[in-house]
Amino acid sequence: MAERATVARITGVRFSPFALREAEDEKETSCFDLALNKKGENKMKIIFICKYNAFRSRIAEEYFKKINKNKKIQIISRGFIMDGTADNEQIKLSKNILGIDIAKRKPLPVELKELLEANLIVVVANDVPKMMFNYNLFPLKKKLIIWKIKDEQRRNKNNIKKIIFQIKERVENLNETLEKK
């Protein structure tokens, strides 16, 4: 699986450093407008990304799918490095708190095609490798939102809960904003 992630890097899965910004409501609105104003498209595609696609992006994907009522929004999640899995504590707490199963599939690598097809790219991480942001891919720059959410790999229950609630709040705000459009 690591080879597939390396292939994604070689084929140009990188963002502009100018596209990096912390999500703020007024800035997100313009990003949403761009994402929703693609002519001729019936469906909106959102991709949630974190480092491993094991915990943060999986929570965002599964929780958005749970609360979203608009069937024209397609949601996926991916990671840049294929070497991680959610630990038992993360799986158990996400199920208890949000009623979602983040372990129902294995982590998947991000592919350039998915990024280009997405209307909105949400990076649910503060630790995505900086090399992914080296080049200016203009089509991606206009639809990129960064949620700087830390990872938890020490199985600290309080930190895991904090992360889950941060993602829950961000996903609910995203869903609410999209419902208004």
Report the pLDDT value the prediction gives residue 123, as an integer from 0 to 100.
Answer: 92
pLDDT higher than threshold 80 for residue 117:
yes
Q: Which residue has the higher pLDDT, 67 or 115?
A: 67
Task: Find out whether 152 and 84 touch, Cβ atoms under 8 Å.
Answer: no
Please give the residue range of the domain that contains residue 36: 2-180
Residue 50 tokens, joined: 């974190």
Listed in sequence order, the residues at least 6 apart from 127 whose beta carbon sits closer than 8 Å to its beta carbon are: 51, 150, 151
Task: Find out whether 38 and 119 touch, Cβ atoms under 8 Å.
Answer: yes
Q: Give tens-digit pLDDT for 138-173.
A: 556 567 888 999 998 788 999 999 999 999 999 999
Pick from 11-20, 55-64, 84-93, 155-164: least confident: 11-20
Domain count, the chain: 1
Report the pLDDT value the prediction gives residue 101, as an integer from 0 to 100.
Answer: 95
CB atoms near residue 109 (< 10 Å): 22
What CATH number did the domain enclosing 133 receive?
Answer: 3.40.50.2300
Measured over the CA atoms of residue 154, residue 156, residue 162 and residue 163, the dihedral's sign is positive
Provide the b/e sequence for 13-40 (b: ≥16 CB within 10 Å). bbbeeebeeebeeeebeebbeebeeeee
Task: Find out whether 90 and 55 touch, Cβ atoms under 8 Å.
Answer: yes
Task: Find out whether 131 and 9 touch, Cβ atoms under 8 Å.
Answer: yes
